[in-house]
Structure 1
Amino acid sequence: MHPPHLKQVAPFGEWDSPIAPRDMATGGLQLLSPAYASNGSLFWLEGRPTDAGRVVVVERTLGGLVRDWTKSPFNVRSRVHEYGGGAYWITQGEDGSPLLWFVDFVTQRVFRQAGSDRDPVGVTEETGARHRYADGVTTPNGDWIVAVRERHEGERAIDVVNELVAFRTDGTPGTHLVAGGTGDHGGRIPPADFVACPTVSPDGTRIAWVAWDHPNMPWDDTSLWVADFDQVNAVVIGEPWLLAGGSGNGEAVTYPAWNSDGDLFAMTDRTGWWNLHRSTGGAEPLASVWRVDRDCAGPMWGLGSAPYVLLPDGSAVVVALNGADGHVFRVDVQLGMANAISLPVSQIQAPIASSGLKVALVASSPALPGSLLEFDLEDANPSSTVTLVQQGAVQVASGSVSVGEPISFVTGDGARAHALFYAPTSAEWVAPTGELPPVIVLSHGGPTSAVGSGYRLGIQFWTTRGFAIVDVNYRGSTGFGRDYRRALNGRWGETDIEDCISAVRFLAESRRIDPKRQCIMGGSAGGYTTLASLAFRPGVFAAGMSDYGIGDLEALAAHTHKFESRYLDTVVAPYPEGIETYRDRSPLGHADRMTTPLLLLQGEEDRVVPPDQARSMAKELDRRGVPHAMVVFEGEGHGFRRGATIEASYQMKLSFLGQVLGFAPVGIDHDVTVLHHPRTS
């Protein structure tokens, strides 16, 4: 009989973790966007931090061979809306083999590639990345590609035009307008600030797309347009008709798709939840397919991410969400009945792909990193057919995995908010009796977004060291219905802060965390919540860490990119009429109230939150003698992609917290210098 395993004792924060900062780079393979070719080959994207963050197209052939298609230095990423998506699509070559179309990150040109061993050929003109493409779809006759194009005619947001254009699949030079943009001169094609999701009917006689105008975002108020279409010349015939949305009543319609019978499907939140609807022939009003009080779609930050797929037998695969977690259902679109498909995952990432009744998706569970899975609905028990095609991040031993516990708590105005709590977990270490763990509050980006319970190496990095994590789905998060999503409207910088603070108060009252070692961390919009919490609720948190966070709302409204240039009109106040609200809620303008040590990490090439935001905050903190550190990474944009940057950022965060909270972290090679801190000054 073996003696029980004895754990070593060390204070929280000083545990020796199996996840090193280097693992955050080398173990962070990102899997995206599965798609099938007509011959049944499965394609997907891999984001590789160890290859300077390059994104490549990968194929698994019918024979099971896995191979790269993307040759260096090509990088498959679109910059439409800055967030991209829809950066590749597959058509059928003349010999029936897959034909790849992709957008190159540097040039933003569309390239055609006829095989994994063939050189890509550019099919759109070289513009110095002034013209960007995404979300392409092929006409049924195979002659044309219809895609979103974003034209940058100047440096300002108002100089950007978003439109649907068509170009030849044979590479013949030239493009022409299909929809959106400034519209056509005859007035038949209505102009639009934004267009997305082009889809052509199977017989090539109709086309549908989604459009919206400032100040709306695609989850606020959109229009679903349909038009008769001439696929021989790739032009709209007659006047398009508005099928849904566009009335100003706040209906957000997204992700249209035709089935083989020529009916048009789309997601709309007209019931308060994003549910699947259908229009007969694309002419009759949208009618509900499956009514469920669950969101079946998320916010359209990226293009090409339809959260459902239509199958040849007339059914659909749909994901019903709870926050960012979800369950997969097979829906009979005629009867409106749904059957759950039991899969060993909790979080599914759109898009979903299908070939016949085979389905592929990227998903994760509390113990499984984001992975590409495939299953077969031909089988009466699809869960028994699940195949792991490719796995993403590094896994740690099951005894060291912290599983998110859903919590719900009372917050401001007597409302309820949601979060996931991750307790410190290690197979090898335990804290001294009676010690409570430090906690890091994670405030997610967006802010119109959500977090789920799928395995994330970035959370396990902290929990295996003895930190607790509370990942907050504050009011305004998606996946909880339209009312919850809109609870942030006009209250960003208030509601989100209140919910993050209520989360740690709830945990402290139940003695699950140390209230004297509460920290907060977030990136982008989550970085704003971090900075705002330190400015407007001083004394609550012992440390803050902001990745490319927003410190000056007015500067963001004036200088950010087109896609989000009017976002704050909804979540803060109309600009410039509400300029005083912007100033009241900008952390930079209230930095005189900030006393909490702060780490600022920023990308030099960030066009969403320009680096001047971080520099201005650091300058003000330095002037006032507040402990802080700032690091700006060359070559990085909005979100860190390079392995060296990712590794360095985790080294710096661990070093920073060690200095501020007074513990000796294990496994860091260098310290970050915290200015004006007694331990480093």
Structure 2
Amino acid sequence: MTTDPAPRVLPAGTWPSPVSAEVLSRSVSFADLVSAGDHLLWTRTDPTSGAMRLHRWDPSDGVRALGDLDVRSRVHEYGGGAVVTGPSPDGSALVVDTAAQRLHRVGPDGSSEPVTPETGATVRWAVGHRLDGSRLVVVRETHDGGSALEVRNELVLLDAADGTQHVLVGDRDFVAAPRVGPDGWLAWLAWDHPDMPWDGAALWAGRLEGTALVDVRRVAGGDGSAVSEAAWWGADLLLTEDSSGFWELQHHDLTTGRTTALTDGGADLGHPRWVLGGDALAVLGDTVVAVRTREASSDLVRIDLHRGGDGVAVEVHDWPTATGQVWELVVHEGAVVTREVDPDGRQALRRRGLDGSLTPLDELEPVTSRPGDLGEVVPVAVGEGGERTHAFLHLPANADATTPEGTAPPLVVFLHGGPTSHTLPVRSSAIAFWTTRGFAVADVNYRGSTGFGRDYRNAMRGRWGEIEVADVIAVATELGRRGLVDADRMAVRGGSAGGFTVLAVLTSEQHPFACGTSFFGVADLAALAADTHKFESRYLDRMVGPLPEAAELYRERSPLTHVDRLSVPLLVLQGLEDHVVPPEQSEVVVAAAREKGLLHDYLTFPGEGHGFRKPENVAAWHEAELSFYRQVLRLDEGASG
């Protein structure tokens, strides 16, 4: 009989980890899950290149890869919806290739051919839905002007057989989420500047007659409220809209024009549409299955609908899942297929029947499966009333190591991007990289995050660069005060909007951090407003204020204005092809750190945009960040892993 050796006692932050930077760099994920008749399609990361490869599942052949295209849309720069929904007569798929942004037909054997012209990626496609034969409705984004505001976003009717295109909706700044209904009816979301989709997306409907829409009408949203999800229920529409304070389910009768609230559960049945795919609402007969988010944690809810003389009655049931979180779902052959993540970080696509049946379709192993490597995830709330903010604290864990008695671990604070988004209580590979080395990780959902309802989300309006800075400092300070982490060894990290907050925290008058890392973070708000992509070009009107009236506020909130307060080491990483936060934003803060003589490092990645995808770059980033923290936080420099 043998027994496992006792864990070695080692200083936190120096533990040998099974999650190397190379292992992390080869992490795989799913995207663009769609139903295509009797089969399903999705994309999956190629661990050797970072490309997204098309995969197909059907009952007879199971899962198989189709071709070698890198499938990713760049509409809104963030993409999503790169695989067209719906069955095709010949079993082929329509997808968007990353480089040229053309639609391609991919046959069941993996062969592919383009169906839209070469434009040098000036015309981009996303979220297509097949109508009949070769026709589909699809979002088209055209870049043929000199500025972001000249980009055109339209809903078009495309014939994939002969390439003809007809604009159906061309008078709005943005369109998204087309839905094909009965008898030629279509529904879609639309919104205009300065709104973002979660501010004022409206649901519209119209009937397709020939190559044009008739009987067009606004269904809901767009008047101070926003619609997140929509689906057809026979000839009626079901939608989630947030006038109640949460994205709750509503029913719209197209004949009478009447909209009725169906739920009031104090939870979001929807999510902010940063990307164009990823739905949270599915209709199977008279049953709705939805992704429900409460306190930034997501599960499934089942809502049974009953028509009657007085309208629609509902029965709401929790639908227990054996998973940690649910991200999205689609309807397929009388069931729902969900994209989920388990408590240990395992990602999965699973087919769930209304009868309780469960069929795994595809799974991605976690970066470590040893039980001893799974640290506890603790919800944390700091403050009271309107000052209350939230985080998930991931405690360090390693099957082979433990800390000396009476010591607390160093802390790495994660800041999500957006800022209008949220983080889930998920042991992701990125978090396991740190916790298996003995670091605690605080994943902060500062005020302004989603997942807590509209009031919490809108708390940041006019206060970006202020409210979340206070929240990040409050969470880290409180964790140190409670003795859960080493108050003298704290680092803060974040990308994009999270990178902005890192810089804003480190240039605030007082903070508890020993160092920080910014990935493509914003340093100058006015420069960002003047030089970013169309989707976010008016975002700051809500988050800071409209220009030129709020010019002084932009200056005051910009970390660059207060760079004289920067007093701790800083690591900065930047993709050189970033069109959301251009490299100039990183370069100005690096120059300031250099001028002050602060310890700093600046890593740039050619060929990378807003986020790092190439495995070699992901590995280099994490190796550099780990080395940086070990140096600055005075951890054992001889530690391995």
Which interval holds the TM-score relative to the shorter structure? over 0.9
Deviations 1:406-436 (A, max 9, x none): 111116x862111101111112111122222
Matches within 5 A, 1:221-240: 221-230=200-209, 233-238=210-215, 240=216
Q: What is residue 305 of structure 1 aligned with on the other side?
A: 278
CA contact (8 A) 1:18 1:396 kept: no
Contact 1:520 1:530 in 2 (8 A): yes
Contact 2:34 2:83 in 1 (8 A): no
Could you tell me which amino acid in structure 2 is paired with residue 122 of structure 1?
A: P
State how far apart, in whole Å, the 1-side matches of 2:79 and 2:639 are. Answer: 35
- Deviation, 1:303, is 0.5
Contact 2:412 2:490 in 1 (8 A): yes
Does 2:113 correspond to 1:121? Answer: yes
| Contact map agreement 2:14 2:639 (CA 8 A) in 1 | no
> What one-letter code is carried by the residue in structure 1 that aligns with 2:554?
Y
Alignment gaps of 5+ in structure 2: 307-312
Deviations 1:288-329 (A, max 9, x none): 232211011110000022211111x32111121124421211
What amino acid sits opposite 1:464 in the alignment? T
> In the alignment, which of 135, 145, 160 is matched to residue 136 of structure 2?
145
The 3-state SS of whatever aligns with 2:19 is coil
- Give the aligned partner of residue 349 of structure 1: 327
The residue that corresponds to 1:549 in the other structure is 521
- Give the equivalent residue in structure 1 for 2:343: 366
1:43 correspondence with 2:36: no
Which of 438, 455, 459 lines up with 1:487 in the alignment? 459
Name the counterpart of 1:85: 80
Give the AA of the match of 1:126: E
SS of 2:507 mapped into structure 1? helix
CA–CA distance in structure 1, aligned partners of residues 325 and 10 of structure 2: 33
Q: 1:539 to 1:405 in 2, by over 3 A?
A: closer
Equivalent residue number for residue 69 of structure 1: 66
Alignment of 1:408-487 (within 5 A): 408-410=381-383, 415-487=387-459
1:2-26, CA deviations, whole angstroms, 9 ceiling, x for partnerless residues?
7784221111111111111111012
Q: 1:258 aligns with which of 232, 237, 251?
A: 232
State the AA in 2 paired with 1:160.
V
Distance between the aligned counterparts of 1:666 and 1:283, measured in 2?
Answer: 73
Residue 154 of structure 1: how far off its partner (Å): 2.0
CA distance in 2, matches of 1:54, 1:143: 27
CA distance in 1, matches of 2:638, 2:582: 33
* Counterpart check, 1:103 vs 2:79: no
Q: Does 1:203 align with 2:183?
A: yes
Query: In the superposition, relative to structure 1, how do residues 495 and 274 fare at CA in structure 2: closer, same or farther (>3 Å)?
Result: same
State the alpha-carbon separation in 1 of the partners of residues 16 and 539 from structure 2.
43
1:33-62 Cα shifts (integer Å, max 9, x gaps): 3223212x22211022422x2111101221
Normalising by structure 2, we get a TM-score of: 0.96
Give me the whole-angstrom Cα distance separating, in 2, the residues matched to 1:164 and 1:202.
Answer: 18
State how far apart, in whole Å, the 2-side matches of 1:661 and 1:106 are: 41
2:347–2:363 CA contact under 8 A, matched in 1 = no
**CA distance, structure 2, for counterparts of residue 282 and residue 620 of structure 1:** 62
Shift of 1:376: 2.1
Taking the TM superposition and a 5 Å limit, the aligned residue runs for 1:483-562 are 483-562=455-534
What CA distance in whole angstroms lies between the structure 2 residues aligned with 1:429 and 1:340? 39
1:195-233 Cα distance to aligned partner (Å, 9 max, x none): 1111221222x2221111111100001222222221xx2
Equivalent residues of 2:231, 2:281 under 8 A apart:
no
Q: Using a 3 Å threshold, how does the CA distance of structure 1 residues 3 and 398 change in structure 2: closer, same or farther?
A: closer
Q: Which runs of 4+ in 1 moved over 6 A?
A: 1-4, 666-669
Between 61-70 and 614-623, report the one with greater CA deviation.
61-70
Secondary structure class of the residue paired with 1:639: coil
Answer yes or no: is the 8 Å Cα contact 1:264–1:282 preserved in 2. Answer: no
Change (3 A) 1:510 1:386: farther
Q: Equivalents in 1 of 2:582, 2:377: separation in Å?
A: 33
Q: Structure 1: how far apart are the matches of 2:416 and 2:323?
A: 21
CA shift at 1:275, angstroms?
Answer: 1.2
Which of these residues, 324, 329, 339, is aligned with residue 301 of structure 2? Answer: 329
Given that 1:91 and 1:98 are in contact with CA atoms closer than 8 Å, whether structure 2 keeps it comes out as no
Q: Is residue 67–residue 110 contact of structure 2 (8 Å, CA) maintained in 1?
A: no
Following superposition, the deviation at residue 665 of structure 1 comes to 5.1
Shift of 1:667: 7.0
Quick one: distance in 1 between partners of 2:203 and 2:562? Answer: 43
| 1:399 corresponds to | 372
| 1:237-294 Cα deviation digits (max 9, x unpaired) | 25x22221233xx2001332213x2111222111110012121237523222322110
For 2:246, give the aligned amino acid.
Answer: W
What do residues 565-606 of structure 1 show as CA deviations (whole Å, max 9, x unaligned)? 010111111122101111101111211110110000110111
Alignment-derived partner of residue 159 in structure 1: 150
How many angstroms apart in 2 are the aligned matches of 1:387 and 1:167?
35
Deviates more, 1:30-39 or 1:595-604: 30-39
Cα distance per residue 1:347-401 (max 9 Å; x no partner): 1112x11223322111113213222222222x3x34xx24252225423311111
Deviations 1:58-113 (A, max 9, x none): 01221243211132xx211111100011111244333xx52201111111111122
Q: Does the 8 Å contact 1:425/1:466 carry over to 2?
A: yes
How many residue pairs were aligned?
635
Shift of 1:503: 0.8
Distance 1:194-1:75 versus aligned 2 partners, 3 A rule: same
The question of whether the paired residues in 1 share the 8 Å contact of 2:63 and 2:361 is answered with no
Contact 1:366 1:404 in 2 (8 A): no
1:56 aligns with 53
The residue identity in structure 2 corresponding to 1:36 is: S
Does the CA-based 8 Å contact 2:502-2:517 persist in structure 1? yes
Q: Which deviates further from its counterpart, 283-292 or 639-648?
A: 283-292
Which amino acid letter does the alignment assign opposite residue 371 of structure 1?
A: A
Percent sequence identity is 38
Take 1:225 and 1:439, find their aligned partners in 2: how far apart are those partners? 47
The farther-off stretch of 105-114 and 476-485 is: 105-114
The DSSP-based 3-state class of the residue aligned with 1:227 is: strand
The aligned runs of 1:580-595 (5 Å cut-off) are: 580-595=552-567
Greater mean alpha carbon deviation, residues 388-397 or residues 636-645: 388-397
Tell me the distance in 1 between the aligned counterparts of 2:336 and 2:218: 32
| Residue identity matched to 1:114 | G
Q: Tell me the SS of whatever aligns to 1:92.
A: coil
Partner of 2:105: 112
Distance 1:132 1:603, change over 3 A: same
Task: Answer yes or no: is 1:14 the counterpart of 2:18.
Answer: no
Cα 1:668–1:604 shift into 2, 3 Å: farther
CA shift for structure 1 position 337: 1.1
Question: What stretches of structure 1 of length at least 5 have no aligned partner?
Answer: 181-190, 670-681
TM (norm. structure 1) is 0.90
SS in 2 for 1:588: helix
Counterpart residue number, 1:647: 619
Alpha-carbon separation, structure 1, partners of 2:47 and 2:550: 41
Partner of 1:673: none
